[in-house]
Structure 1
């Protein structure tokens, strides 16, 4: 048992967490005469370490996930999901979102494609909710910062939100709230191509490069904000606004997160900095979920596909779910932290 724990700790802290990299950067900055306990030195260490770590892990994970995803083109996905009904279909749609490494805006074209293919509206919304929230890459990166228990809990509640949200929308029978041009497009059955291993490798490489190009700016911004919070804003200020003693902290975090646009990779450095300042786990998760699932640009894009009534129902369901999750984790986080 001790051996297994040792191996797991090495994997979590040295492979995923890259603590060796943090120490190396610290040694280099110290040799340059910078004080790591000071604001400037600490900020530089945080910036360099988090940017390199996140981009390396992101590239590796996106490549692996995209290679796996090459076995499930939209036509095959339609065939798989079409076999299921009810809550099982919503669960499969939510699980499908875990292997799509996209931000919310990138998920919407897939949502439209699945709707064109004739999949139930509840299933497509379960996918739309889970895709930006709980992809496998986010799980691994979360684990590199918060550990396995918190990461697993985040994925579980994200999937539950996606399944229940999609199921509720399905029960409201709002198929007529999808824009007419999408419902009229229909789907075209085409032959599923057989890809060689080289084709899959090139596909994964292309997806990795495209995804990194899309998100690297948000990673830089997120790390910059994280460094600012970590080294420049006093803990007392953060505690007063988002601390456990403020009963409105979850509401504030959700309200602040919705207008922002970033994927989960850009929110991780901010979450890490807030966690180090003693902000409640539920408050942090609410902020991350609001940014990734309800960003203003993604809501605007979704409006082009669905009518205002359905869009409003989606926003309300996800917002209420995020707030409930936030307060739940703030109350019971002691069980997993």
Structure 2
């Protein structure tokens, strides 16, 4: 058992945390630029270069793997799978399928429209809509590389639970009449599912890597830049005063601040890493990440074109309240994860 633990620890350090890369960047900063990573400028430069390279390496590899898996679940096949299952089982399946589909909320909405117009239960489609940007297999491993296995797995579990409960509540409220009429009028035709060859799947995965990197690179740069500033320039006392454990409204504030932002999970992680490193509670950090990814303002604007104001308000309220409850619970039981 000891050997297995050591092997896992080594793999985690070398493949996910990339400690070898951190050391290389340290040498670069100190020997080439002549800066100490213990100073603000040197520390910021090390944080920025190391996180950028690590995220893009992990992202490219993981998106390729996940996209290869996605090639087995085109929207037509997903609709057929979801169409035959209703109730809580349908919500669970919708949430799980969301983990192998688009990496940001705006990309999820066109699929959400397709599912809704195809007559899938509304609760199932909302479970999918919540989990799709919030939880995916790539983010699990990247979260693990920054925060460790316990927090990464906990994030996935609470994300899926939020998606299932949110979809179930919306289903129980019978909100179908609050879908925009044009969505229900969209003609759905059964498209023949064409199985890809292995070469086509590899080509698809490569194109997904290029497409997603093209869409998220700027947010990653901004996120890492903000993370570097928080990590090296903002005093810990300021962070603790604003969103530290002594502020009973820290989770609420982190959620409210996160909603207007637009970034995917990959651009949010470096900011969360810096906040966590400054002693911010794990629940506060998770609430911030969830608010940014699940309730970003641009995606809510897009969703407003699909659903009527009452349903949009109920969706935002359910997810916001769920995120806040999750944040306070995780802060209360943080000793389990740290």
Interval containing the TM-score (normalised by the shorter chain): over 0.9
State the 1:82 CA deviation: 1.5
Q: TM-score, structure 1 length as denominator?
A: 0.99
Matches within 5 A, 1:165-314: 165-314=166-315
Aligned to 1:22: 22
Contact 1:101 / 1:137 at 8 angstroms: preserved in 2?
no
2:38 is matched with 37
SS in 1 for 2:280: coil
| Residues 78, 114 of structure 1: 8 Å contact kept | yes
In 2, Cα distance between equivalents of 1:185 and 1:101: 22
Q: Aligned pair in 2 of structure 1 residues 101, 60: CA closer, same or farther (>3 Å)?
A: farther
Give, in whole Å, the separation in 1 of the partners of 2:8 and 2:152: 15
Distance 1:108 1:220 in 2: 25
Larger CA deviation: 99-108 vs 162-171: 99-108
Counterpart in 1 of 2:56? 55
Indicate the residue corresponding to 2:98 in structure 1. Answer: 97
In the TM superposition, what are the counterparts of 1:314-325 in structure 2 within 5 Å?
A: 314-325=315-326
Show structure 1 runs of 5+ residues with no match: none
Structure 2, unmatched stretches of 5+, are none
Deviation at 1:213, TM superposition (A): 0.5
What is the number of residues matched between the two proteins? Answer: 337
Residues 83-142 of structure 1, C-alpha deviations (whole Å, 9 max, x = no match): 211000000000011112411111111111111221111100000000111111111100
TM-superposed CA distance for 1:186, in Å, is 3.5
Q: Paired residue for 1:10?
A: 10
> By how many angstroms is 1:195 displaced?
1.0
2:126 aligned with 1:108, yes or no? no
For residues 13-47 of structure 1, the C-alpha deviation after alignment (integer angstroms, 9 at most, x for no partner) is 11011111001100121112111100110000000
Does structure 2 conserve the Cα–Cα contact (< 8 Å) formed by 1:230 and 1:274?
yes
- 1:72, 1:280 → 2: CA distance? 37
